Structure 1
């Protein structure tokens, strides 16, 4: 998956992170950093997945993929 801040953007990895986001048990609210307070994780996930589905593999939208990876890292630690 991720190594030293690098994330995988191949189709299989992107499908896997989207599947994780859609099926994971997540808290309603998450604070990823001082400037990233997610008040509704289900809405956050839906918005990022919609961006990915509409625009993948356009690299401009890789931050939507990054956000899912970062959420996963936060939830799993």
Structure 2
């Protein structure tokens, strides 16, 4: 698992990326993670982040955006 940054600037940057990224119609992050509507996926995670940041319990929402970015950018 990658080490992601949870400081305010990094979180703002990943949210901005997610809001402006050209997303595919479907994303398969792993055998168990198939995203059939990436736009809704992004909106849901951004909502959780904006409502609960900096509560570390919600860091998985930030992780999901980082993982989506890695997939989209081919990292």
Alignment TM class, shorter chain as reference: over 0.9
Aligned length: 74
5+ residue gaps, structure 1 = none
Within 2, Cα distance between the matches of 1:21 and 1:65? 10
Map 1:1-77 → 2, pairs under 5 A: 5-77=2-74
Runs of 4+ off more than 3 Å: none
Unaligned runs of 5+ in 2: none
TM-score, with length taken from structure 2: 0.96
Post-superposition Cα deviations, 1:6-44, rounded to whole Å, max 9, x if no partner, equal 000000000000000000001021000000000000000
* Distance in 1 (alpha carbons) for counterparts of 2:25 and 2:57: 28
SS for the counterpart of 1:51 is helix
Q: Give the TM-score normalised by structure 1.
A: 0.94
Inter-partner Cα distance in structure 2 for 1:46 and 1:26: 12
- RCO comparison, higher one (Cα < 8 Å, 6+): 2
